[in-house]
Structure formats: C-alpha cells, structure tokens
Amino acid sequence: MIRFDNVNKWYGQYHALVSVSETITKAEVVVVCGPSGSGKSTLIRTINRLEPIDSGHIFLEGEDVHRRGLDINAFRSHIGFVFQQFNLFPHLSALENCTIAPVRLKRGTKQEARDRALALLDRVGLAHKANALPSELSGGQQQRVAIARALAMQPPVMLFDEPTSALDPEMVGEVLQVMKSLARDGMTMVVVTHEMGFAREVADRVLFMDHGEILERSTPEAFFNRPEHPRAQQFLSDIRVSSTSI
C-alpha cells in the first residue's frame, strides 16, 4: 500500500532521511519510534507531501506521491493525517470541522456528510459535543475530533504524527482507545509515537529510526524484548529509565 523506495531528504546540509526503503501493506499497523530528531515525523510527513523529498520515490497504492502533475488535493483527500497539535479549526464546531472537507470536496450530499460526521463523532465518543467549539473541548476531546475529521473523508490509510505527545497524561488513554479500535477494524495505520504500550498491543510491526535511517524492523514482541541494533537497545533502556522515574 505504501512503499518507500530509496528516499533521501536534506535540510540544507543535514541529511534528514537516509536511503529509506520500506513497504507497508494493507491493514498493517506500523509504529515508527526513535529518539528526537531521528526523522520519524519527517518520514510520515513525506507520505502526504507536507514535506518534499530530494531523491527516491514514495508510492501510495501505486501512485508516485511526489511526481509533478499529481492532483495533490485529490490525493490528500485519500489520506487521513492526525497532527500532534490537533489543528482543529477554532472558528468551526466539532461537527463543522468534520464536514468542511467532504462538503467542499463534494463527497456526497451535505446531509450524507453530516450523517457520516455524526456517526464518526459517536464512534470517538463525542456525539454529544457535536456543536461545541474547539475552545470548549479538552485536549483529548480535540484530538478525538481530529481523528473523526480525518476519518470523515473515508481514507484507506491513516497517518498519526505523535498524536498523544501534546496531551496531558490522563487524556492519552481515551485517544489511544480510539486508535486501537481503528486498528482492530483493519485500518492501515502508520503511527509515530512514544507510546510503547500501544505498540505492544496493536502494532503489527515496529520501525526504529535514528538519524534519518531505519535501523531496525521487527514485531513489537521481538523489538521490545530482543532489540538487535545497539542504538535501539540504548533507546529502549533510556525509555525504561525515564518511565520508572515517575
């Protein structure tokens, strides 16, 4: 479904993505983790062309994402993207946030868009907040609306860029809950996250990145218990230390 083919990217002199090659199949849930600055956010942002690449190719359902002449808007409407900072539109209600794209891009009638949005808000547990403005919602609620908003376009794949990093700890759970149910329903997901519990429970594979390279790829069980690459081992031991120091 998603294929990286020797992708390279530079920020000036800094080599942000180093010969990245990887394939993600349909219904797979892939977690990308790694230390700060490893390039994991950059990687996921290149999939829907929020960041350009300098060489190599990225294919989504066979289409070269970065080729010139691609209808980028039509293309992006087939990818759901959830940001770390939620990025809900503050001047629109939760419901309007979810209907703005389907209505504007003419995915069915207005009524259909509304019905689907309400169903999605219900699915993320926020049907009762349909008319609330983002300023009236907690961080966890906003992120759940953001997920519903991305789902409203019925994309075949969902990308998550550190979806819980900006949340207070007590709200992380409600968002992960939604993401887990999505995974169980067979959604293809690429998730950049530090939430190792999530990775253990629903991920099919874990990709470990550092300094722009994918250094290890394995199942969650293998990755957490028997990491092979020394930097992966370092990373995991650092995480364990910080999590036990609470």
Partner 1 sequence: MTFTEVIRSYWLYFLVGRFPQGPLGGLALTLVLASLGLLLALPFGLLLGLTRVSPWRWLRWPVTTLVFVVRGTPLLMVIFWAYFFLPSVTGVQTSQFSTMLMALVLFDSCYLAEIVRAGIKGLPRGQTESARSLGLPWFATMRLVVLPQALRHMLPSLVNQFISTIKETSLGYIIGLGEVSFVATQINTQVFIYPTSIYLILGLTYFVLCFSLSRFAFWLERRLASQGGRNTTSALATL
CB 165 within 8 A of CB 194: yes
CA angle centred on 15, ends 68 and 222, rounded to 5°: 100
Residues 24-63 that bind partner 1 (CB under 8 A): 48, 50
Residues 146-205 that bind partner 1 (CB under 8 A): 146, 149-150, 153, 166-168, 171
Contact residue for partner 1 among 104, 106, 230, 245 (CB under 8 A): 104
Q: State the amino acid at position 15 in one-letter form.
A: H
Distance in Å, CB of 128 to partner 1, minimum: 10
Distance in Å, CB of 125 to partner 1, minimum: 11
CA dist 2 and 24 (Å) reads: 5
* Residue 150 dihedral angles phi and psi, to the nearest 5°: -65, -35
Which DSSP state fits 49? T
Nearest to 188 by CA among 49, 61, 53, 7: 61
Distance in Å, CB of 161 to partner 1, minimum: 10
Query: Which CB, 30 or 153, lies closer to partner 1?
Result: 153
Question: Using CB under 8 A as the criterion, which residues of the chain lie in contact with partner 1 when the complex forms?
Answer: 48, 50, 73-79, 81, 83, 85-91, 100-101, 104-105, 134-142, 146, 149-150, 153, 166-168, 171
